[in-house]
Amino acid sequence: MAMTKDNVEMIHGYLDAITDIHLEELIKIASQPSVSAQNIGVEECCAMLMEMFTKIGMKTQILESPTKPAVFAELKSKQENVPTVLFYGHYDVQPAEPLELWNTEPFKPTVIGDKLYGRGVADNKGQFMAHVMAVQSYMEVLGDVPVNVKFILDGEEESGSPSLPWIAEHYRDLLQADIMYVSDGSMYSDIIPQISYGNRGILSFDIDITTAETDNHSGNKGGVIENAAWQMVKLLSTMVDEDGHATIEGFYDTITPISPAQQKMIEELEFDPATLCKLYGVKKLKYDDKVEFYRHLMFLPTLTINGITSGYGGDGSKTIIPCHAKAKIDIRLVQGQKGLDIYEKVKRHVEKVDPTAVLSEYSVMEMSVTEPSLPIIMKVREAVEKAYGVKPVNMPLMGGSLPNYVFTDILNMPTISVPYGNPDENNHAPNENFKLSCYFSGIHATAQVLYELGTLAAE
């Protein structure tokens, strides 16, 4: 028997009645350190999550990988011909340091006012726990869920998810679903949801230039030997023009056009340059036209110098000719670009301009995009609007990067991102927090999404 509106209303009422329990469950999970970068608490957190899923009635297993394991859980609906939703999240967290800047103990989640403070409460334990609590509530009230549900919780997202592609390839059948749903990052505001349908990718590498075995005296040898710092500056200056446009041959050749649905979303977005300048801490934006601003933020690649190190940078003077210079670079990838192809183009450019420069090995997280007009995506959008009682802000792409390409490109499933965090969540920083109302509304949103996806069978 198909679930009805009365069923989901019953669930929403139940959720309102047990907020204390849902808060306790989050505090329990967030109290367990699980810092992938420092290899702290990963196994213990896995065991805790396995126990939690098992108590709900889900089939669980550890997905081993060449690095950190992922946690998988599955629950099949008793409803017929319903879709399967795969929830992605990550149980690893950022290091808590610097500890002296925290107002509370990072791994002793503490409620102060209307927020829960602690490392991982918003990024990402609180957000995937919103999904878990919604599923648990369906089972407690109705003994069933409206759709088939799967979870994959990554153990090293904060370290770049190096093994997630491997896991997707090796557990392909296990992970198959009709849609991947992720909640990570912040909402548009505390009460207005934001949905994104993809994200730019990221390609990272170093460039090294060495001109001598050691630094040399800038007077005794100045003018007769090369300066590594100047060589690096000259090389980098050949890679972009004065407007920041990459001058690397073929850099833009494979970019695919913006779709009509994406263009429509851009036109519907709000744009307030003054507010954005205040948010970014700058006096002006590079683009004061809305369409150009969002086109450069989402649909055009960047070539960014993350840092340059060379010579002496301390107090006073040290009159040397630096023998070594290093530049750390990232490139944000957009529709149609692939990391290896862009890396090879950069490498050819560098070899042509300065054959002495050496590129390091690269790391890449490919870009990901899902067409916003797909019926299953539109159904999620409808559910989110019903849950919050307001139209969500639709972002065709996020400027930042997530490993969503693993799902769109390797597992061939549409992917949607619906963040539940408050905009001032301080993720990756001291005093990370999750506003309680955002956590509870996220649980309601997940419950509504599960119900609305279940109606696709009847339709």
pTM: 0.89
As to burial, measured by CB atoms within 10 angstroms (0-12 exposed, 13-18 middle, 19+ buried), residue 384 is buried
Report how far residue 310's alpha carbon sits from residue 321's, in angstroms, rounded to the nearest whole number: 10
Are 30 and 110 in contact by the 8 Å Cβ rule? The answer is no
Q: In percent, how much of the chain has pLDDT > 70?
A: 99
pLDDT in tens, 259-282: 998 999 999 999 999 999 998 899
Separation between Cα atoms, residue 314 and residue 202, nearest integer Å = 32
Supply φ then ψ for residue 448, to 5 degrees. Answer: -70, -40
User: Residues 101-118: what's their mean pLDDT?
Assistant: 98
CATH code assigned to 201-255+300-365: 3.30.70.360
What's the confidence (pLDDT) of residue 387? 98
Distance (Å, whole) CA 165 – CA 167 = 5
Q: CATH assignment of 5-199+367-454?
A: 3.40.630.10
Domain with CATH 3.40.630.10 in the chain: 5-199+367-454
The pLDDT tens digits for 50-94 are: 999 999 999 999 999 999 999 999 999 999 999 999 999 999 999
Tokens of 18: 């047990």
Q: What is the pLDDT of residue 1?
A: 60
Mean pLDDT across the stretch 92-106? 97
pLDDT attached to residue 187:
95
Per-residue pLDDT at 202 = 94
Give CATH 3.30.70.360 domain extents, the chain. Answer: 201-255+300-365
Please tell me the number of Cα atoms within 13 Å of 99 on its side-chain side: 4
Half-sphere exposure of 203 (CA within 13 A, CB side): 25
| Beta-strand relationship, 415-417 and 179-182 | parallel
Q: Is the pLDDT of residue 336 over 70?
A: yes
- Residue the block writes with tokens 């590498």: 205
CB burial string 151-182: b at 16+ within 10 A, e below: bbbbbbbbbbbbbbbbbbeebeeebebbbbbb
- Angle 435-180-269 (CA atoms, 0-180°, nearest 5)? 60
- Taking only the tens place, the pLDDT of each residue in 374-414 is 999 999 999 999 999 999 999 999 888 888 999 999 999 99
- Average pLDDT value for the chain: 96
Mean pLDDT of 190-201: 96
Tokens matching residue 26: 């989050």
pLDDT tier at 23, thresholds 50, 70, 90? very high
The answer to whether residue 458 scores a pLDDT higher than 70 is: no
- Please state, in angstroms and as integers, the Cα–Cα distance from residue 158 to each residue in 38, 365, 426, following that order: 11, 13, 15
Whether 375 and 179 have beta carbons less than 8 Å apart is answered as: no
The structure tokens 């009847």 sit at: 458
